[in-house]
Amino acid sequence: MQTGHHASKRGSDLLNDPVLNKGTAFTEAERDALGLRGLLPPRIMTQDEQMLRILPAVRGKPTPLDQYIYLVGLHDRNVTLFYRLVMDHLEELMPVLYTPTVGQACQEFGRIFRRSRGLYVTADDAGRVRDVLANWPHDDVRMIVVTDGERILGLGDLGANGMGIPIGKLTLYTACAGVPPHQCLPITIDVGTDNTELRESHAYMGLRRPRLRGAAYDALLTEFVEAVQERFPGVCLQFEDFGNHNAFVLLEQWRDKVCCFNDDIQGTASVTLGGLLAAARLTGVPLHEMRLLFLGAGEAGIGIGDLVVQAMREAGIDEADARQRCWFVDSKGLVESSRTDLASHKQRYAHAHAPAESLLDAVQSIKPHALIGVSGTPQTFTPAVLQAMAAQHERPIIMALSNPTSKAECTAQQAYEGTDGRAIFASGSPFAPVTHKGRVHVPGQGNNAYIFPGVGLGVLVAQASRVTDEMFAAAARTLSGMVTADDLAMGRIYPSLSRIREVSRAIAIEVARIAFERGLAQVERPSDVAAAVAETMYEPVYHSLV
């Protein structure tokens, strides 16, 4: 899909436009008509021939970060070829472009920075955010991912360096679901950083001051959301990697007013629910009969709990009973009703129970069917915890979802060894298959990329005015329904990443259908929703410019 702004571009201007540039693939006719003769090597290559040249270049890089830098450079030169490469080799390149390599890319953002992408809105732009948004060259923006960099993955406050996350997420919107790249806009709101080491670094390119807090922060975010609605009517706004307090406040403030969602709260919840529904086919225990124990009671944990409660209610359980099946352990121990130090989002899961200081104590007393790690604290699923899970259930569900890999609560190998090969294991970052006692176990990756691209595509097709929890629950059911008997036989509770465009398409159809049925769509319902979704999906092919 082209943006229709190529008519006036010629010569080096055309070669410097990454959306329109085809490099050596410009034809003889295009070279003559567009002033390109002599500006390119004489051989005309097809896109397939270009792929044969660049794929070995990517694979030849010594580290994943070097591969990341090369791929960013390719995107900056030729968007179409970049997406062709990524879509054709998604399983291989997704860990490079997103989890886990993107975490290192954010940490080293200043050192590897080559060319600016996206928009930066800063604390100094208060009162003129509309002017900043007006500088973006594309009007037809449909998908914005925005962060303030306070809680990047499990790495904490990376300030303006967090821009790597919106860039990476939007790359997956296009690669996994075909959201057209010119309709995607990454934004970082730079309100300073409390990471003093970063502030003092010569390579840091953000505001070198402590974070803006309180009323001034709230006013800037309100101005931003309102300005976005004016500049890009009908856009979907995804909040990403905000600190816990701001994440919950922003979602509650805007979810019923504009088309928005928080992937850390709702996307993580959906992909986890999908995994639990698939795991139920292996354990024989339906979701509404499971007890769940979460390590971590922040955005991800509470988000999962809320969506699980909704799914249990749909299965006929009343809300109070459903909440009683979800238990949380935070940094101070079990979340229970005698505690007086609980933030408001934790209080609805504070059940009557004796205090338990350690995760092991909680596992032994609650006997959960599933242990879900969303703590950002590595190696917390100790051998003793895993053995306790295995002692209570034939097929314990172990989900170590914290990212990047260095923050995982346990590795796949530890999960299988700690449960004598009986664990149903999934993780946030990718792990290789594990052989235990002669049997190969293939861990599933509970990656939000199974969810948010498809949800975004469905919202875009229906031009939905809101994103609802019903859509995320439907996405989870759709995802679990695509897990095959062969997947389950390997111990995998998610489909192969190679099927992610198929998964995204199926989710988009369900999300669009809900938008049309609930009166949330701002376009007329097409006679064939599935066909409308398929037609919207971007394909990275070259179009003739003459």
Length of the chain counted residue by residue: 546
Q: Could you confirm whether 173 is annotated as catalytic? A: no
Q: Could you confirm whether 61 is annotated as catalytic? A: no
> What does the angle CA 326 – CA 330 – CA 331 come to, to the nearest 5 degrees?
170
154: its two tokens: 């499990």
35: left (phi over 0), alpha (psi -120 to 50) or beta: left
> Quick one: DSSP state of residue 331?
T
- Contact (CB, 8 A) for 153 and 99: yes
142: its two tokens: 């449909």
Catalytic residue among 22, 68, 83, 98: 98
Q: Which amino acid is at 535?
A: E
Please give the Cα distance from 59 to 62 (Å, whole number).
8
Whether the link from the prior residue into 433 is cis, omega within 30° of 0, is no
Catalytic residue among 9, 22, 68, 169: 169
Q: Which residue has the tokens 């300073």?
A: 192
Are β-strands 184-190 and 292-295 bridged in parallel, bridged antiparallel, or unpaired? unpaired
From 311, 180, 262, select the one nearest 467 (Cα to Cα). Answer: 262
Please give the Cα distance from 494 to 204 (Å, whole number).
38
Which residues is 399 bridged to in the sheet? Answer: 372, 426
Measure CA 449 to chain center. 5
Q: Which residue has the tokens 């390590």?
A: 295
Please give the Cα distance from 229 to 45 (Å, whole number).
42
> What does the angle CA 427 – CA 431 – CA 433 come to, to the nearest 5 degrees?
120
Please give the Cα distance from 10 to 191 (Å, whole number).
39
Q: Which residues carry out catalysis? A: 98, 169
